[in-house]
């Protein structure tokens, strides 16, 4: 049995989503990884769910008994980063 995580533990550090945020999404009706992602942004950061998805699945299992197959997987997206207008305009092209 997995150890229960404290509510202030960060699940997705890039989007600053905590265990409490995931639990609140579940209270609002989220039942799988994708619906958690849509409500909280967990999994939308740089890791794209590679590190945080297992924690989301764990919380779903502990809170409402959803197994990993039912919890599903997040849909990967192309990683995106902020780009300056200068970069778009050709400055720092070689950096
Ligand atoms: S830790 Fe943020 S997307 Fe996975």
Q: To test the ligand 1 pocket, which listed residue (47, 74, 80) has its Cβ within 8 A of the most ligand atoms?
A: 47
Banded pLDDT at 88 (limits 50, 70, 90): confident
Is 10-88 a domain of CATH 1.10.3110? no
| pLDDT tens digits, 15-52 | 999 999 999 999 999 999 999 999 999 998 888 888 99
- Report helix, strand or coil for 10: strand
Domain ranges of the chain: 10-88
pTM score of the predicted model:
0.78
User: Is it the case that residue 11 has pLDDT exceeding 90?
Assistant: yes
Q: To test the ligand 1 pocket, which listed residue (10, 16, 22, 46) has its Cβ within 8 A of the most ligand atoms?
A: 46
- Report helix, strand or coil for 75: coil
> Does the beta carbon of 53 sit less than 6 angstroms from any atom of ligand 1?
no
């Amino acid at each position: 049995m997995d150890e229960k995580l404290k509510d202030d533990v960060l699940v997705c550090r890039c989007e600053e989503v905590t265990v409490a945020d995931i639990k609140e999404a579940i209270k609002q009706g989220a039942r799988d990884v994708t619906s958690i992602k849509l409500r909280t942004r967990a999994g939308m950061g740089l890791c794209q769910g590679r590190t945080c998805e297992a924690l989301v699945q764990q919380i779903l299992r502990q809170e409402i008994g959803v197994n990993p197959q039912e919890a599903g997987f997040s849909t990967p997206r192309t990683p995106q980063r902020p780009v300056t207008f200068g970069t778009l305009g050709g400055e720092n092209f070689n950096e």
